[in-house]
Chain A
Amino acid sequence: MKPIEMEKVQELLNGFKNKQVYLHLETTNGAYANHNNKNAYTVGAYIRNTSVLFTQAKIIGMENVYRVGLKMEKGWIYAEGLTDWTIHEGSKLLLAGHDREGRLMVSLQISETPFDY
């Protein structure tokens, strides 16, 4: 992945608007968070290959850390802390936020075709 280029990502987000698309959204601080530091909490949420349609999509941020919000007819999807992006298999948009050690903390991925299992 490479550091997010805001205009390019915005353009790609626009391309997914008003289409039924597959979405992967995840946050994690690792299954060992509380094991490694008893004052930390192990928290995370994960949804994959859910089918959504959004009518509005925006990337906002500064200093290499970004947020993406997607407006649906009856709700919202957003992710924050995004730092990197890439295109996977030609058309799947992958966005992720990594910590200083390169560990994934958050990811938002959109595709017109399903992600692997």
Chain B
Amino acid sequence: MEKHVVVIYPHPDDESFGAAGTISKFRKEGVPVTYLCGTLGEMGRNMGSPIFANRETLPKLRKKELVEACKILDIDLRLLGYRDKTIEYEDKQEVARHIKGVLEEINPSLVITHYPNYAVHPDHNALGAATIEAVGMMDADTRPTVWAQAISHNFEKVLGEPDICIDMTDNFDEKMKAIVAHQSQASGIIKAFYGDTEESRDLKEAAIERLGKERFYIWDYPKND
């Protein structure tokens, strides 16, 4: 059994869209989970539907949504304090040292992050890379295992089949509970899920297909370093 799991993603909602099923699996086993959220998604384009946020109010609203999602997932939340869409321009070593410091404090047995270069959003790639760097700086005998999540269309072709698969296809409703907390960002999938048109049923099916399986590669330090 894991001792403590730390999820490190850059945006409020990455934890729900990307790993809600994995997180609840660990919580059901009684494993503590902490979410280190890199930014407040300050640069998000979605402003709610109908629009209820603007560029200046969005961070506060997304923080509230994130706190709510973490309550639903029953996990601790720590904010890293970077700004959305700027992580790749920060000094990578400095971000890695920052993350390493937090990890040493929490002392997890497992860290979940994005797979660098295969996670589409520049913040995903950069924070994933800094996280892998941070764990790489730790003592090889005692450092946590890293699970890396890829998102790009081509990842399976290049990287092969992921090592871990948490399948939420049959209990996706459970995952939706966390996603729904992100009202400002998730209006599309919320409409698809609770709508009653043929179009929304198609969208719902596509969403389950896309988000139903949470898959991770176990980071192979000797091989990838």
Contacts and interface: CB of A to CB of B under 8 A. Distances in A.
Interface of A: 1, 24, 26, 28, 30-32, 35, 46, 84, 86, 88-89, 92, 94, 96, 98, 101-105, 107, 109, 115-117
11 contacts: A1-B54, A24-B55, A30-B45, A94-B55, A98-B47, A98-B51, A101-B49, A103-B46, A104-B47, A109-B55, A116-B59
A109 B51 contact: no
Contacts of A86: 54
Interface of B: 43, 45-51, 54-57, 59, 83, 85, 120-123, 151-153, 187-188
A84 B51 CA distance: 10
Nearest to A117: B83
A32 B122 CA distance: 10
A88 B56 contact: yes
Contacts of B47: 98, 102-104
A28 B46 CA distance: 11
* Interface hub of B46, B48, B152 (most chain A Cβ within 10 A): B46
> Which 4 residue pairs are nearest across A and B when measured between Cβ atoms?
A103-B45, A102-B51, A31-B121, A88-B56
Given A31-B122, A104-B47, A88 B188 contact: no
B59 A46 contact: no
A28 B45 contact: yes
B210 to A, nearest CB: 11
A31 B121 CA distance: 6
Contacts of A96: 54-55
A100 to B, nearest CB: 10
B56 A28 contact: no
Given A101-B49, A103-B47, A117-B83, A35 B153 contact: yes
